[in-house]
Amino acid sequence: MDLKYEDVLDLMNRHKINKIYIIATIIAALGGFLFGYDTAIISTALIFVTPLFKLTTVEISFLVAGESILAAIGALVAGPIVDKYGRKKMLIADGAMYFLFALFTAIASTSFLLILWRTLIGFSIGADTAIATGYISEFAPSKSRGRFGITQQLMIFSGFTAAFWAGFLLSFSGNWRLMFGLGAIPAVILLALRFYLPESPRWLLIKDRMDDAKKALSRFGLDIKENIIKPVREKNYREIMREKSVRSALLLVGFWMAFQQITGVNIILYFGPTIYTYMGLTGPRAIFITAISESLGAIEYAVSFLLIDRWGRRRLGVIGYVGIVFSFILMLIGIGYLDSHAILLAIVFVFSAMTLFLLFFHIGVGGVGWVLQGETLPTAFRGRGMGILAAVDWIANFIIIFIFPYWHTYIGLYSFFEFELGLSVIALIVIVLFFPETKNIPLEKMPELFGRKYRDMRKPFKYDEESNVGGEK
């Protein structure tokens, strides 16, 4: 008896979750922990390496932002590789790069080497973000895909939090080398665990590696004895890019990925302690206050985890940006108090603004963006498409964190956060007017969802599991 490729996908979408789903998700998403740690540790280390190496404004910008450019390159390079050679190999290679570049950064002896090795960590981060959530989406059942995918954001948050607390504890000794070097320890663990991962069953199926696909599916508890009929011919890059649904997904999700960065999350995370030092706080106190704001992310993640497959991506995005707009209003009030030398009030409002920003970012913006990146593109194109979307994210990240030191020095904090407020309002309007809801929609139905006219994108799209037919309600 033969089994169609589409029937196998339907079985995967409906399959009951077991422990291998959870283990594979955690291992795949662990790269997010290193993403968070390796990027956020600069917020603490910057306070110590700036005077030590006598860094100029240009060097500070490149030290903080250069990693993002290599991340964009890493994402673009990784995309075609994972589409051709598979998801698992790149996930393993990322672990090795994380380890080596973290170690080299810790032993850097000059400002040039410090900037070089830290920048190269970005390549491994970018490669990881080009595939991790996509790999998870390819094996996760439809109704749980959001919760599994958003685990990446949990790991990113955990890495950020670990970086702030490690930085705080080491700030008393000023041991910036250990701050960077600690990132090599979880990288070794990550590398070892990723050898355990099964290859993506969906990728194996479209590559006509049916025996390997059956073995991978059996790892997830789905035993298929029948002969699987291979899918239709895999489309090439040009054919895929001619499809309106693919272009629309790249445009809309690319907008989300760009705006989740340029609306300022990494200004809060990378420069948070620095902003507090502008207010007169010492390095350890500034780091401690920033760490408190980020540590609340465990609760925020739990809320997002519970709601993303119930309320959906679109509603959480709207809630997220409404909260971010409000947090920037508080930030402007706080900076206004700072300019009038009411320091205590300034600290209270800025702390409240940063804490609320991170609350709404974690719940409705950051994690949702990475879920959308992993679930909205065709399997044959997912690696390259995710690479493009991750590159957009990292380029936007580079731009905003590169210009911040200049903007603060030559124009001022108040106007910068006015600019961020305006960008957040734009993001909110676009999500309300144009974003579709993707919850519970099988990956193979995404082309129908994104193939609609832009003015119809926000209309509900009902998927009938029994008939396997989707359309507007």
Instruction: Kindly report the three-state secondary structure assignment for every residue of the chain.
Output: CEEEHHHHHHHHHHCCCCHHHHHHHHHHHHHHHHHHHHHHCHHHHHHHHHHHHCCCHHHHHHHHHHHHHHHHHHHHHHHHHHHHHCHHHHHHHHHHHHHHHHHHHHCCCCHHHHHHHHHHHHHHHHHHHCCHHHHHHHHCCHHHHHHHHCHHHHHHHHHHHHHHHHHHHHHCCCCHHHHHHCCHHHHHHHHHHHCCCCCCHHHHHHCCCHHHHHHHHHHCCCCCCCEEECCCCCCCHHHHHCCHHHHHHHHHHHHHHHHHHHCCHHHHHHHHHHHHHHCCCCHHHHHHHHHHHHHCHHHHHHHHHHHCCCCCHHHHHHHHHHHHHHHHHHHHHHHHHHHCCCHHHHHHHHHHHHHHHHHHHHHHCHHHHHHHHHHCCCHHHHHHHHHHHHHHHHHHHHHHHHHHHHHHHHCCHHHHHHHHHHHHHHHHHHHHHHCCCCCCCCHHHHHHHHCCCHHHCCCCEEEECCCCEEEEC
Per-residue model confidence (pLDDT) at position 136: 93
Question: What is the pTM assigned to this prediction?
Answer: 0.85
For the cut 60, the answer to whether the pLDDT of residue 467 exceeds it is no
Taking all residues of the chain, what is their mean pLDDT, rounded to a whole number? 88
Lowest mean pLDDT across 14-18, 82-86, 339-343? 339-343
Across 460-470, average pLDDT: 61
For the cut 50, the answer to whether the pLDDT of residue 306 exceeds it is yes
Per-residue model confidence (pLDDT) at position 465: 55
Domain architecture of the chain: domains with CATH: 2-454 (1.20.1250.20)
For the cut 60, the answer to whether the pLDDT of residue 207 exceeds it is yes
User: For residue 58, what pLDDT band results from cuts at 50, 70 and 90?
Assistant: confident
User: For residue 472, what pLDDT band results from cuts at 50, 70 and 90?
Assistant: low
Lowest mean pLDDT across 218-227, 228-237, 312-321, 371-380? 228-237
Across 445-450, average pLDDT: 92
Lowest mean pLDDT across 6-15, 100-109, 173-182, 308-317? 6-15
Instruction: Give the rounded percent of residues in the chain with a pLDDT score beyond 90.
Output: 52
